[in-house]
């Protein structure tokens, strides 16, 4: 099956610092990857669609200057939370979709837990 990794798995940082989260596709070249955030006991909320070689597409209400997405290669997308604040504390998950015939199935990374003090 597909393997998507994320690093780091958890991070604690001080308010005002920036945090970079990496999402790697280990066995597949993904032109598109998705970034989600999930608050405790809540559903996943799509933040943005990361497109290789072009700018990310952000969902309404997501600050693109706050959450910088870079999809530099077909196997790596990064999400940088700039000047993090306690309200940015959340579980961040990336995913990629793969087509197998007519089916597109989402494969998720293990997630990154961010705690901003």
Which residues would be at the binding site for another protein (CB under 8 A)?
34, 38, 41-46, 49, 91, 93, 95, 103-108, 110-111, 113
Strand partners, 19: 81
Distance, CA of 28 to CA of 5 (rounded, Å): 12
* Cross-strand bridge partners of residue 91: 38, 113
Closest distance to another protein from the beta carbon of 110 (Å): 5
**CB nearer to another protein: pick between 1 and 53:** 1
- The least distance separating another protein from the CB of residue 56, rounded to whole angstroms, comes to 14
**Number of other CB atoms surrounding residue 11 within 10 Å:** 18
Smallest gap from residue 17 Cβ to another protein (A) = 23
44 vs 62, beta carbon nearer another protein: 44
User: Judged by CB, which is closer to another protein: 64, or 83?
Assistant: 64
Smallest distance from another protein to CB 83, Å: 25
Closest to another protein by CB, 44 vs 82, is 44
């Amino acid at each position: 099956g597909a393997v998507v990794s994320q690093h780091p798995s958890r991070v604690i940082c001080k308010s005002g610092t920036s945090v970079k989260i990496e999402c790697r596709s280990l066995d597949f070249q993904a032109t598109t990857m998705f970034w989600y955030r999930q608050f405790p006991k809540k559903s996943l909320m799509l933040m943005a669609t990361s497109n290789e070689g072009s700018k990310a597409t952000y969902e309404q209400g997501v600050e693109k200057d706050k959450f910088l997405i870079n999809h530099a290669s077909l196997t790596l997308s990064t999400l940088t939370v700039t000047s993090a604040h306690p309200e940015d504390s959340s579980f961040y998950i990336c995913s990629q979709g793969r087509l197998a015939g007519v089916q597109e199935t989402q494969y998720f990374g293990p997630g990154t837990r961010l705690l901003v003090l």
